Amino acid sequence: MEHIHLQTTLGDKVIVIERATRIPVLYRSWSEWRFERLRTGALPPPLLLPRDSCFCALCWGAGRFYEPAPNGEGDVPRTCPACQGSRIQR
């Protein structure tokens, strides 16, 4: 993850802008930034799915698919019959 580092003229305060989110964060010092980076960097990324499951193969994880409307005016969503709209299968 890349950062843009800007040191302000207000003493030793530091503004760090993450390139992924573009949100500026004000830290009291570089030491505080380093500590926060080590603390959050050590956490594993959250799982999208439980380990014993996978996305539904019929709806590709959408939970629904579209079919022609009975009156012929476009498509209407229908709940996936395989996963019942839960989007995952075990």
DSSP state, residue 27: E
pTM, to two decimals? 0.41
DSSP state for residue 23 in the 8-state scheme: -
**pLDDT the model gives residue 27:** 81
Helix, strand, coil in percent for the chain, rounding step 5 = 15, 30, 55
What pLDDT is stored for residue 35 in this prediction? Answer: 84
Task: Report pLDDT for 19.
Answer: 64
Separation between Cα atoms, residue 5 and residue 13, nearest integer Å: 11
- Residues in the chain with pLDDT values less than 70: 1-11, 18-21, 41-46
